[in-house]
Amino acid sequence: MNFSRSNVLAPVAALTAGALLGVLGPVTGAADGSATHAASLVLSAEWTWAALAFFVGLAQKSKTGSAVLASASLIAGVIAYYAVKLNHGDFLRADLSDPSGATTHTDWAGVLPKMVVWSVAACLLGSLLGLCGNLARRGGLLGVVFRLVVPLIAIVDTSQRLQFEGTLQGSVARATWEVVRIVAVVAVVVVTGWALLARRSRPAGESRQL
């Protein structure tokens, strides 16, 4: 009974988390206010989606389950994201047969290719990040390296945004990316420092098994 229940709960939790991330990004982006704008930037960032796949993989014991559920969670997020965008009218275009321009229709030719491309990317990258999360469960140096994946992605992501978009996106965006980068750097230091302290505290005979 417990085995079958876990088999059901894990996919449901992964798909729900992905769908929530896909919904919250555009919803907060459409709201007014500095706080919701900052939340939208975080929820729509590449590192946040990477973190979702990573932690879904981290929660699974098997490598196969980690890869499959991480991909599924990101695909659910992509579908939810574009569903919200469609509901907000982001893919409406004027009907050229109506001279008044009052008639609109959904630009499926514009939205469907994007959904397909990002779903394929979610499948490929999600499986890799889910596997990274699974490998982060290990002890030793390998586990430490994989625990640094998400903070390092966040550092690269925010650094690129600050370099190429910082002057264009306004003070809220710059402050958000700066804070995220600082937190990511701190996470790298903490994870690395904790691993070094754990190694030093072990008996001499176990020191090689970091």
pLDDT of residue 1: 42
pLDDT by residue (tens digit) across 114-146? 999 999 999 999 999 999 999 999 988 899 999
Residues 42 and 5 in one domain: yes
pLDDT of residue 210: 42
166 pLDDT band, cuts 50/70/90, is: confident
Q: Where are the beta strands (DSSP E) in the chain?
A: 92-94, 104-106
End-to-end CA distance of the chain: 37
Average pLDDT over residues 25-40: 94
Distance CA 84, CA 26 (A): 7
Residues 101 and 8 in one domain: yes
Domain interval for residue 20:
1-135
Residues 61 and 125 in one domain: yes
Which residues is 94 bridged to in the sheet? 104
Residues 156 and 119 in one domain: no
- How many structural domains does the chain have? 2
Return the half-sphere exposure (C-beta side, CA atoms, 13 A cut-off) of residue 189.
Answer: 6
Residues 1 and 104 in one domain: yes
Residues 119 and 207 in one domain: no
Residues 45 and 56 in one domain: yes
pLDDT of residue 73: 98
Average pLDDT over residues 2-15: 79
Is pLDDT of 209 > 50?
A: no
Residues 26 and 117 in one domain: yes
Residues 100 and 20 in one domain: yes
pTM, whole model, 2 decimals?
A: 0.89
Q: Which of 135, 165, 198 is the last residue of a domain?
A: 135
- Kindly report the average pLDDT of the chain as a whole number: 90
Residues 115 and 208 in one domain: no
